[in-house]
Each structure stands twice: as structure tokens, then as C-alpha cells.
Amino acid sequence: MELERSWQRLIGLFADRPGRQGIIIGDRYVIRELLGMGSYGLTYLCVDQQTGREVALKESKPSKGRLAARLLSREADVLQHLHHPAIPKLLDTFNVRRRNYMVTEYVRGQTLEQLIFEEGQQYTERECLELACQLLSPVAHVHQQGFIHGDIRIPNVIVREGRVHLIDFGLARRLGEPLLPELKRRMKDVPELEDEPAIPDQDLQDIGHFLLFMLYSAYEPQKGSAPASWQEELQLTPALHEMLERLLGLRPGYEGGAGELQREMDRLRALL
Ligand SMILES: Nc1ncnc2c1ncn2[C@@H]1O[C@H](COP(=O)(O)OP(=O)(O)OP(=O)(O)O)[C@@H](O)[C@H]1O
């Protein structure tokens, strides 16, 4: 049994080996570099030979077969409904030898994860609110179109010239839709809430966690101090503290959804 599993892993590694620079996919997209390899897909930076433009090309992972192909076409289906300057446009979909491909605009920038953990960026309360407020514009659009993003986290937000862009719609679903078993498997930890039919509040709660991550970028622990709660460690302006508690479900939330939250953030930014 163990031998069979190791053998399957080896075959998987071979099947999923990334395409090399210069290889042409779908008779049109020339690989420049591999951007990342997730559980179900490989993402490349490519140049579109027809337009000369840089694009992001996502390929379903061959070792994950039909499931990966299905998840990628779900993601493309969602993107097809979205038209917002802070969300990469869907440009093309095709399949070659049982692999699905999805092509979107490429956003040349850095994810907030890279900015914080690789560049050592630190964000003030005001800057955190500014970025979160920007992020609420594409999030509100996703909700208006009848979906939730379902995975708002710092690696899925790219900053280019001070403007944020929301990527990775692999866990997006229609409002009211329960989490598909295959999506559940894609998630490492499924909080209980995620078992519920999709509601906008799930994205707002993620924005609460997103804000906490951003605020912690500037946190310097005192020497020898024991770890404490964020409420104790971060020493936030009271109105921001309250906003976070509302987002994280520790107080009544924002019934008016992303729009109400955006107005509240704007008001708060003016005070800081
Ligand atoms: N449109 C884009 N523009 C620029 N970079 C992108 C774009 N889409 C994806 N990337 C980058 O490609 C990498 C993988 O992308 P993505 O998160 O969509 O793939 P994934 O397979 O869902 O990954 P994971 O399982 O880690 O979430 C990430 O580093 C991301 O920053």
C-alpha cells in the first residue's frame, strides 16, 4: 500500500512538471515563467503571441485529472460574470489533451504577502484602512453579481502602483450555494461557517482577518512578553478596534454588506 502511494506520488510529480520557458501552449501563449503551483493548478506568466501582451495562464493539474479541470472551468465561469478594474479580466479558455486552461489579464505587481514577508513592508492603521477600503470595491462587485469570493487573503491581493487587485476565484461560489465537497477538500481548514450556504458576510469576515494580518505587519513584540490576544497586542484606535470586532463576529456585523462597510471605513479614515 505504502509502495503504491509513493509510486503514485512519483507519477504525479512527473505528470505535473512545469512547462519550460519558451514552450507555446494552445498555439498562442509562450511561457515566460511559472508563477505558482497550487493543489489543482499551475499558473504561468505567458506572452500572448497574437497581442504581444503579458497574460496569466492557469492550467489544471494533470495528476488531478477531471476534478482539477472541472474546478478550473468553475473559476472561469465565475470570472466571466465579473467586470471590474480591480479584477483581472477573463481573456480565453480552451482545453488541450484533457487539460483545461484559463487565460486572464496579468497584473504586474506584488501580493501583499510578498510585500509584508519578503519586503518587510509595515502598514499604519491609515494605510491598512486605505487598502481594505480599495479592496471593498471589487468585493462589492462580486456580491452584486451574485457570488462570494470565498478566499480573501493577503496572497490573493496584488498591489500595483498603490492600487489593489483581487485574484484567485478558485473558491468562489454563487450566493446561497453550499460548499462543494471537492472545494471543501481544496481548503486546508474548513471553519464551520464555510459549511453554510454562501453569504456576503463570509467575505466580510475574511476582510476582518485580512485587516488583522495587515495591522500585525507593524507590530513589534516587547522583549519577553507573553503572547496575548490581538485586542491587547495591537492597541488600535477604538473605532478601528470596534470595526474589527464587528467583522470578526464578536459584535453585530454589517447588515448593509460591503457597501456599508466601505462607507464606515471612509468615515474612519477621515478621523485617523
Ligand atoms: N492575474 C494574475 N496576475 C499576476 N499574478 C497572478 C495572477 N493570477 C495568479 N497570479 C500569481 O500566480 C500564483 C498562483 O495563482 P493562484 O493563486 O491563482 O493559483 P492557485 O493554484 O489557486 O494557488 P493556491 O492553491 O496557492 O491558491 C500566485 O503567486 C499569484 O500571485
Quote the pTM value: 0.91
258 in the same domain as 190: yes
Same-domain pairing of 203 and 221:
yes
Atom of ligand 1 nearest to the CA of 170: 22
- What does each C-alpha distance from 147 to 50, 86, 144, 164 come to in angstroms? 32, 16, 7, 20
CATH of residue 229's domain is: 1.10.510.10
Instruction: Tell the residue number behind the cell numbers 472545494, with chain if given.
Output: 183
Helix (H) / strand (E) element for 272: namely: none
Q: Are 171 and 151 contacting, i.e. CB atoms less than 8 angstroms apart?
A: yes
Q: How far is the CA of 192 from the centre of ligand 1 (A)?
A: 26
What is the per-residue pLDDT across 215-260, written as a single tens digit (0 to 9) for each? 999 998 888 888 888 998 998 999 999 999 999 999 999 999 999 9
- On whether both 71 and 118 belong to a single domain, the answer is no
As a whole number, mean pLDDT of residues 202-213 equals: 96
User: What does 12-63 look like in DSSP terms, one character per residue?
Assistant: HHHHTPPPPTT-EETTTEEEEEEEEE-SSEEEEEEEETTT--EEEEEEE-GG
Residue whose C-alpha cell reads 497581442 in the numeric block: 51
pLDDT > 70 fraction of the chain, expressed in percent and rounded: 90
- The complex's ipTM? 0.93
Q: Are residues 120 and 254 in the same domain?
A: yes
Domain total of the chain = 2
Could you read off the pLDDT of 47-101 as tens digits, one per residue?
999 999 999 999 999 888 888 999 999 999 999 999 999 999 999 999 998 889 9
* 48, 151, 203, 206: the active-site residue: 151
Percent composition of the chain: helix, strand, coil (DSSP 3-state, to 5): 45, 20, 35
Distance of alpha carbon 232 from the chain centroid:
28
Q: Are residues 74 and 117 in the same domain?
A: no
CA 169–ligand 1 middle distance (angstroms): 10
- How much is the pLDDT for 135? 97
- Tell me: do 136 and 262 sit in the same domain: yes
Q: Is 89 assigned a ligand-binding role in the annotation?
A: no
pLDDT at residue 168 tops 90:
yes
pLDDT at 193: 47
Give nearest CA residue, ligand 1 atom 11.
35
52 lies in the same domain as 173: no
Phi, psi of 59 (to 5 degrees): -115, 135
